[in-house]
Structure 1
């Protein structure tokens, strides 16, 4: 079993990694009643979503095709809910 210090170190590493992506991620505004902006990083296949209520989440291992479909969707929020929200690992920033 990992010590509390090891767990904290792992948690700190995750936060550090997430904070690094957050600073580098550019998001584009979208028209949606639920989502404010969307960003994508090709190198890490990370999708970043900013919600209108203020939360920012990163979704991991999202293929570029999925991001492109999201951005082309008639309803970004509906596409996100149906195809991304529960399909990929994520972390709240």
Structure 2
């Protein structure tokens, strides 16, 4: 589900790149949640339980589309 994740501690923005659907930015995420995501046995399960639908989110506007949605 998750290809990569990165966190900007200065702005508290989490960037998550999903396989097949691109990158999304999550705003005002505590750094401890990013640390937990990195340590989780299942990053996808951790994301769904603790991050998804809990933080304001935007799709990366620079995302390139390679297939029709």
TM-score (norm 2): 0.84
Larger strand fraction of residues: 2
Residue ranges of structure 2 left out of the alignment (5+ in a row): 61-69
Larger radius of gyration: 1
Aligned alpha-carbon RMSD (Å): 0.7
1:55 is displaced (CA, Å) by 1.3
1:54 is displaced (CA, Å) by 3.7
Residue deviations 1:8-60 (CA, integer Å, cap 9, x gap): xxxxxxxxxxxxxxxxxxxxxxxxxx010000000000000000114100000
Matched pairs, number: 60
Within the candidate set 56, 59, 70, 2:37 is matched to 70
1:50 matches 2:17 = yes
TM-score (norm 1): 0.63
Q: Which has the higher contact order (CA 8 A, sep 6+)?
A: 2
Larger helix fraction of residues: 1
Residue ranges of structure 1 left out of the alignment (5+ in a row): 1-33
